[in-house]
Structure 1
């Protein structure tokens, strides 16, 4: 039976007007999100991950942003064509977002309880008494002890991990159908990261929510994702199931990301880094944007942008190396070995 499609992003292209010129932040990306799944979007800083998802929420600055093309379809409605008033009914209720730094996202002048109650009163038309009862249940659900006491406290009285739990409680308050998590564990230490990830996995099963998880940490991706989209220079360069991306990667950029993951066995060896820097998207390069950093680049990479080649029904990659006439190039074995070691270490540490 076909999965229900919750969200469909088609040919989305976004630029920002800056003092230096037009910055092409997102360049024709496409992806789908299905009911109950977690789609991870990974890539270096500046690759367009957050811009893409903020476009879904209509949270990009209106004055400096130009949306050149695209559709974002949710329940047969194009979110790009919605008015601000229409989006206010969707935000928090149907599509919710967890931001990277809860200290800057939570209101320091309001108690935690009032901040959880607010979307319940606005979107669910709850009375204050019912909203407070629901807020207490949500605090308990996300693992905050003594919710009756905590509900009256302010954000500065919570630790970083607890504040992130509060953000999750706010996001889940109205049982959204889609949850966007924008690097929700980046500011947390490793132990708290593991707790938050486990919490999100548990809540997803209980609430059957579809999640878009934005991160640059491939270890986190392995723990939470069903499918993975790899972004580079404003484009999706590879997409597939988590096993396809990690065990059968096809794009040289994905190879580089996997090779740069540290393992316990690395010792005194130098940690691999992808050579060079991402391109300046004020001046989009010809051909494949990754070509100048790609040791396997072909002549055509500098002239023509590669299309998405199908590897399997669920796996696609935009690299000329998949063309039938391309030379036979496979990822270096040390990359696959490194990933296998990482998975072994992860199991030993967390199980």
Structure 2
């Protein structure tokens, strides 16, 4: 009898309108205008609103209506009073007020912040932290943590099937792909997997053609790329080739001699791949299989130098690097891509535009990786 009563109550809730006297499609338009930081208030109104906020339906409606905005997330060391202590990493967030704040620490690592060397990816308005090292024991982790900006809290996702460190990672559509890296014995890997946030499950993919430790993950034309890397964890010689996984054919394809310099970071944007090498931004011409200089990093006392992490959204690159005047501090710049991607050697008029993001003395720590979340 109890089971029947619960089923009847759930059906009753699902049949109730989101807002009395309004069709659900109109109500969804109204609710999609509520900013994410206020979603926690919606969960207290009724069960149907709570279920809506906890699903991806509200995000999908916000995106469809053009009500989303982009939030920059940095895996960044927090300021410390005792410089002899190891750094504690958290996620630094540039919010809609264009000010910096920190996400709460993962509950399991409240004292330590976040796993070291973990990877960040964004799917359906959520931030996902994949793998890394236990900051207290340096144990390699298979863990997955998902941050909901609506509830402002972390949830545990399904573990990665394999243990791997320094792997390629990127989001394509509704999936997060991981590939390569090395295992606990320091052996380079060719294996790959993908995570489905909606089902909280992993799928083992076909192996890559080549072992790739410390390879770089990027997305181009809805295909996941694993670029360069090393055959062994000794890092004697980097791999010049790359591979991309096609979700339709479910197979890997090689790109021979794709890269001849070891880049600091690679990202896809506006139908192209971009890399950072030394002080230059390089753009990849897929038809010619070569990289050409597009622009240079900001110079002077307010500029940045490698090492760098890079992410993107729309036609913008988000570049984080060490300050030119203080190598212990990191700053972030937006690079607005030119409408016509002519290279520097062709025309200086076609360079992009650099824009410095706000500076806060509490958010200048060492940055390991970055990610942009659409909310």
Q: TM-score, normalised by structure 1?
A: 0.29
- The structure whose residues are more often helix, as a share, is 1
Whose relative contact order is higher, 1 or 2, with alpha carbons under 8 Å and at least 6 apart?
A: 1
Q: TM-score, normalised by structure 2?
A: 0.28
Higher strand fraction: Structure 1 or Structure 2?
A: 2
